[in-house]
Amino acid sequence: MKYKIINFQKHGDDRGMLVALEENKEIPFNIKRVYYMYDTVAGVRRGYHAHKKLQQILICIHGSCKIHLDDGFDTAEVVLDKQFQGLYVANNMWREMYDFSPDAVLMVLASEYYDESDYIRNYHEFLEYVRGEDLL
């Protein structure tokens, strides 16, 4: 499966904590887009898509959430609940974000600008794309 948890270096003292992120260092790609989700309604799942090219780092900078990952062959569930951890998600990986705590803020660093043609929003089409076969 094409994902991994990255523990970012954290710096702290009696003033508080700091995490610094730099592209092509802690982040394994050039950052072209940053967005975040917050005030997610209880019980709502987000995502339901994959990307053909785009790579992402997901960081729950406040609260917690869970991520369901699927590469078309295997699945995994990842809990994000530490501000100094990021989840690297490669391309061709179906993702769903869910079980957001009421105070959750999920920040996403993306390797590409928004491009609707990069999205695969239908799970059946995703399976055909990654498996390279017609499943009908």
Please report, for residues 10, 14, 26, 78, 111, the alpha-carbon distance to residue 20 in angstroms, rounded to integers and kept in the order given. 8, 18, 9, 23, 18
Q: Which amino acid is at 136?
A: L
Torsional sign, CA 119, 49, 69, 99: positive
Please state, as a whole number, how many other Cβ atoms lie within 10 Å of the Cβ of residue 29: 16
Per annotation, catalytic residue among 49, 51, 62, 124: 49
Which has the closest alpha carbon to 73: 133, 15, 131, 13? Answer: 131
* 124 in catalytic set: no
* Beta carbons of 53 and 91 less than 8 angstroms apart: yes
- The pair of structure tokens assigned to 130 is 């990654």
Residues recognised as catalytic: 49
